[in-house]
Structure formats: structure tokens, C-alpha cells
Amino acid sequence: MSPAAATPAGDRCTSEHALRLVIATCTVDYAGRLSAHLPPATRLLLLKADGSVSVHADGGAYKPLNWMSPPCRLAESADRWVASNDKGEVLTILLHEVHGELTYDCGPDPGLRKDGVEAHLQELLAANPHALELGMSLVRREHQTDIGPVDLLCRDADGHAVAVEVKRRGEIDGVEQLTRYLERLDLDGRLRPVRGILAAQQVKPQARALATARGISCVEIDYDELRGIDKGRLTLF
């Protein structure tokens, strides 16, 4: 990390690519679809340019303890952050002591580059959307949302919008990614309501359970059969 690229603690970087990290002893309360409370502890607070706010512990890999997805509003005072959104959800972070803060301009991100197999899966499914579901038709590949592109935007036999995320292995992070896309796509009155399909060569049981709970379908793909699509079929779970 280049010291010249970082802004001093307490300053606010105005770049659209700014990433802000704060290490603080804090108490966190969430109120919305349910209630959650985190007692005082030292944690990492992460504010991203997409408008998200997340609270991390020194463990648990990448998954935050609590978060507010974009877009949200953040009101700050000396000892309190309050993040809220139009759904009525509120994340309140009470700052007992700030140990360090850094704002860094990451610059534009080129986005995820899929490997050869994953990119080819997307290409094949775009050419043969009925393999995902009978009556499915392609609207667009790499359909842009304000948080990134969803792999395939389709319409089902009834004309309803379907967002498809293509992975080699369907894991929990793929479900989380598709969930975020669905939230953004549902804001478009021309598409709403939008349902989701996670298409992968293998879907892990934990990912399938989470997807089912969120109303997302999972399609397991045999890559070799898909390349000769008239000889095989896909199984919808």
C-alpha cells in the first residue's frame, strides 16, 4: 500500500472508488427483518464505494458479522454511525474507541475474469437457455447492474425475468452474489419480480440449502453433455 495513496485518519475521500477501513471497539445493533446485537469488542468496520457498510471480526474468513447492503444512508457523529435504507432496516454502530482509520483509493476494478470452463459454460447456456428450463429465452449476456453484471438475464415461458449466475462450483458466495443482483434488479419496474438461478457443474449442499431458503433455484450442469446438448439434459433442483 502506497502511503501517498492513503488519506489520513478522519479525512473523507471523495473518490467513487474509495475504501474506508476503521478498527474500533464498538457495539452493534441491527433492526429490520429481525433483530441482532453484538456486544462490545474490537472489530473492523468496512465502508465501500458501493455504499455498503460491514462489520468484521478477526475470524470467519470473508463473511461479516453484520452488514448493510447498498444503497444505504450513513449518518455519522463522534461516537455513533447509523446506516439505514428504504426497507426500514437500521444498523447502529456505537463507537467506544477508534484505534485506527484509513481511506484508500483502490481505483476502478476490472471485474471478475471467469476461467475458460466457466466462461464457456456461460456462452453455451446463452446459446441454449432452454437447457436451464423449458421455455427459457435469453435477453442479454452480462446484464449490468449498479453493483456489477449478472451473467445471463433471461425470460421464462411466462415472460418473467430470470437472473442466472454461472459458476464452476456453486458455493455460498455464489448464492450471496446472486442475491445482491436480484435485490438490484428488483428495483427496475420493467423486470420486477426477478427470480434467480444458480447454474454450476456442482452445487454444494450448504449453497443449495441457502439458495432454497431465498427462493433461488439451482441447476447442476454436466459440462460435457452441455457441449453436445442434444445428447444430455440438465437436472433442476
The CATH number assigned to the domain holding 198 equals 3.40.1350.10
Same domain? For 202 and 173 the reply is yes
What was the pLDDT predicted at 57? 92
Give the cell for residue 179. 442475491
- The single-letter DSSP state of residue 93 is E
Are 45 and 79 in the same domain? yes
Mean pLDDT by 10 residues, the chain (237 residues): 36 54 96 90 91 87 84 90 92 96 78 62 85 89 86 91 90 91 89 91 90 91 69 47
4-40: pLDDT as tens digits: 333 333 333 333 557 899 999 999 999 988 889 999 9
Burial (CB count within 10 angstroms: exposed 0-12, middle 13-18, buried 19+), residue 77: exposed
CATH assignment of the domain containing 31: 2.70.180.20
Do 56 and 101 lie in one domain? The reply is yes
**Per the domain annotation, does 129 fall within a domain?**
yes
pTM for this prediction: 0.52
* The domain boundary residue, chosen from 86, 105, 124: 105
Structure confidence at residue 116 (pLDDT)? 54
71 cis-preceded (ω within 30 degrees of 0): yes
Give the residues across from 202 on adjacent strands: 169
Closest by Cα among 2, 103, 88 to 45 = 103
Q: Which three cell numbers stand for residue 78?
A: 463522534
Number of domains in the chain: 2
User: What residues make up the domain containing 160?
Assistant: 116-236
Does residue 171 sit in the same domain as residue 208? yes
Task: Note whether 96 and 201 are same-domain residues.
Answer: no
Residue 111 falls inside a structural domain:
no
Same domain membership, residue 230 and residue 122: yes
